[in-house]
Amino acid sequence: MTNASLISLAALAVALSIAGPVAAQDASPIVSDRTSDNAEFDESLASEQIIVTGTRRTDRTVTESAVPVDVFTAQDLATQPSPNLQTIIKNLVPSFNQQRNAGADGTAFVRPPTLRGLPPDQILVLINGKRMHRSALVQVAGDDLSTGSQGPDLSQIPSVALGRVEVLRDGAAAQYGSDAIAGVINLGLRQDADGIELNARYGQSYEGDGEDIQISGNIGLALGEGFLNISGEYVDQSLFNRAIDRPDSAALRELGIDVPFPPTRYGQPEQDAYRVVVNSAVPFGDMNELYFFGNYGYADSEVDFNYRRPVAVTVPGAVPFPGQPQRPDQTFGKSVGTIYLDPIPGLLTAGGAPVYDAGGATFEASAFFPDGFVPLFMSTNEDVYGVIGVRGETDFGMLFDLSAATGQDRIRYTMNETLNPSLGPTSPTDFYLGSLTQQETNFNLDVSYPLEVGFASALNIAGGLEFRRETYKVGLGDPESYAIGPYATQTVQRADGTRFQATAGVGANGFPGYGPDSVADGSRNSYSAYVDVEADIVEAFTLGVAGRYDHFSDFGDTVNGKISARYAFSDAIALRGAASTGFRAPTPGQSFTSNVQTGFPNGSTVPVATATVTPGSVTGEYFGSQPLSPEKSTSFSGGVVLTPMPTLTFTIDYYNIEVRDRIAITSPFQVSAADQAALSALGVANAFDLGQVNYFTNGFETRTQGVDAVLTHRVMTGFGTFNSSLAVNYNNTEVTGISRPEAISGQRAANIEGLTPDFRGVLSTNWTYDAVYVTGRLNYYGEYTSYNAVPPPAGTPDLTTQSFGAELSFDLEAGITLQDRFRIAVGAENLFDNYPDRELRNIYPATGAQASGRLYNDASPLGYLGGFWYVRVGMDL
């Protein structure tokens, strides 16, 4: 923790006397009226807030729930420093985290969150109670917490479209199906039938970069007795950079090479995006309505890859770790080797390949890029989702909801300012790399009936049926983007008759395109049935039981159950708890990804194909793969709810989540000549090109334990209302078993346990007086540890592991509403410009950074943007 941590704490003490968490007043509609376990009070009491997540009853409130549920309103989302929904939830829910992952291929654009330290595909996301489709990106380049996962992309939904967000912090696969292991996020869309809301926001970092412009709006229209609500958002996000110079680039400038400064920018990608959300419902008959909702999102994003050198250069070596001696001088070779263009007439190798003249004409990448180059990786993401249904109540009191949903996420990659070295002087410099597509179709029927059986409440009996079809596709790139050109491997002869081997990279340098061996188009179907019953057995005791059966066409059946209970000793104190089993079905991307990348690993002089194959393929089975089975979980939770007065609530909940058969990508298997021959005999077309093989497999187990504690308080005085909340999360994940050692390295196992801070806390307070408000928020992130290798035995010097200190940031916002319709707010995120601890591993004294120019670790939950100021204006018509 650096730069004014003590000032932050001192300022907090002052701010707490004048500011508070987001809480709405009629005169200040920009301020939140969120209420929940983890929320401030509005004018209504928390006990009056009806929830729809985690229960099938229609009369259950936040504090009456047997499991912890947080509820956040539209105003609560609107007053966060960031417009990105994923970042907003991170600010509101202490157990929800995300990392930066700058420059990590597609992960830089689709940032994977974690909930309770568990990956994004163990978080179920709903929109209006209906399952949201996944992103097309399988996180093969992500951090060790999320590698191999495939979850939804929350950034596709603009916060202006949301009327409320409910976060269920409990396992719920028995109620909602696959993925609901860590919890459930339910995004409730706005239902305004009139009014126009317009918003604009401008901000930038204290460093002067990272300019962020957001324009959003919402309009509500009446459709008879129904409504049509339309929301839109445009985001223009500029790049911010927190890298500095590289040791090789500084030396290259001394040679007269005009290397950009800094050579590679690490931070926030550039992005232009627009998103539209529609929500509509029209009543018909006495008790029924037809509804429709959906979204369309489009985003163009780009990020730098590493700088490529035009020539070799030698620099002073790095210091591996503080207190260790500096390494000897290090030579950074030129990034793209020399291509020899002139074959010697009539001279061939034993294999019939031409022999090239070392003294003849040559080609260098510097012919295209004299000062070196930085490949520019770009993504175009289109996301579309739609649901249509009918719901209502029968004459005998049964509620029903019949719906159909379809969704698609498509990502297209391009790479500019690079080349395919194996094509030599004929290489293009711009490439279309191919596409990823995730498609989902759901048909769903839900019914519920309140049956009077003599309990303190009706016995709510709910049930449902569901059909899902999921498809995953990988689309072909330009041939030049993946081609193994004529100069991939060359035999070159010197004037004295001696020979050597020269190699050139294959495919677009930085990210080879998807070739014919990578194209995929796989689908699966699933059928589900569930039952869920709940009742107040006596006035003080609530009991719920749920069970679900799922059949998947690719791996078979799974049955899961859940029991939950709540006992109220009085209006002021209650106990609650739940136990459940759950599962996460292998995602289509994990089941059907087939990708071949060609390179020169470990000094090889011939191109080696590294293939990610499907678990059921001939090649995969030859190397021991088995069909993927679902991840299985067992969850327990229990807690206390204290409401000693209407303005004070305290909850504390313990949770324990065991996940078995977790899915991971194996380490590469080396393919020998004998393996190639055997695979060829089995009919594998490209067997003799294979050098390495990996695949997705079930391979390890984890146990996650933790505690959530939330305190909310409201004080009304003659000089305004103060609303305060304190939310604290303790979370610890342990790798408890490894059934396939090749599925998870010791390094990844250590990072799963160490990269997420054990402690996270959010202290917020808000002061409102008539049309004015001030909000302050202190974010605390505990220590975390990053491992760059397998931890060494005890007593052995560890030069690859670094522990990072706790991190603090303070957010402050002040706003006013004028004439009941014009809103103005100014604020700062990370007001005191705090940064995480710097990297200490492999630092070059000449620059004070790593070889890439990076200063900070991507695992920092605080991030390394530093301070960010913004102005927001709005108007209601």
- Asked whether the CA dihedral 600, 604, 606, 609 is positive or negative, the reply is negative
Q: Is the peptide bond before 262 cis (omega within 30 degrees of 0)?
A: yes
Residue whose pair of structure tokens reads 């710097």 in the numeric block: 838
- Asked whether the CA dihedral 135, 140, 143, 147 is positive or negative, the reply is positive
Give me the pLDDT at residue 142, please: 67
Give me the pLDDT at residue 102, please: 67
Give me the pLDDT at residue 160, please: 93
What is the C-alpha to C-alpha distance for residues 515 and 480, in angstroms, rounded to an integer?
10
Question: What range defines the domain where residue 82 resides?
Answer: 5-876
The two three-digit tokens of residue 371, written as one number = 């000062």
What is the C-alpha to C-alpha distance for residues 701 and 658, in angstroms, rounded to an integer?
7
Give me the pLDDT at residue 40, please: 35
Give me the pLDDT at residue 384, please: 98
User: Is the pLDDT confidence value at 603 over 80?
Assistant: no
What is the C-alpha to C-alpha distance for residues 728 and 708, in angstroms, rounded to an integer?
6
What is the C-alpha to C-alpha distance for residues 114 and 755, in angstroms, rounded to an integer?
11
Give me the pLDDT at residue 61, please: 75
How does residue 1 score in pLDDT terms, banded at 50, 70 and 90? Answer: low
Instruction: Say how many domains are in the chain.
Output: 1
Give me the pLDDT at residue 87, please: 86
Reported as a single tens digit per residue, the pLDDT across 701-744 is 999 999 999 999 999 998 999 989 999 999 999 999 998 888 88
What is the C-alpha to C-alpha distance for residues 842 and 801, in angstroms, rounded to an integer?
11
Reported as a single tens digit per residue, the pLDDT across 435-451 is 999 999 999 999 999 99
- pTM exceeding 0.85: yes
Reported as a single tens digit per residue, the pLDDT across 283-327 is 998 899 999 999 999 999 999 888 999 999 999 999 999 989 999
Reported as a single tens digit per residue, the pLDDT across 44-56 is 444 456 777 878 7
Cβ within 8 Å of residue 100, ≥6 positions away: 111, 267, 268, 858, 860, 863, 864
**Alpha-carbon distances of 637 from 169, 559, 749, rounded to whole Å:** 10, 20, 25
- SS3 sequence of 109-159: CCCCEEECCECHHHEEEEECCEECCCCCCCCCCCCCCCCCCCCCCHHHCCH
User: Is the pLDDT confidence value at 774 over 90?
Assistant: yes
**Alpha-carbon distances of 656 from 107, 458, 461, 635, 664, rounded to whole Å:** 29, 31, 28, 6, 22
Instruction: Provide the CATH number for the domain around residue 46.
Output: 2.40.170.20
The predicted model gives 460-481 an average pLDDT of: 96
What is the C-alpha to C-alpha distance for residues 237 and 147, in angstroms, rounded to an integer?
26
Q: Which amino acid is at 333?
A: G
Whether 514 and 476 have beta carbons less than 8 Å apart is answered as yes
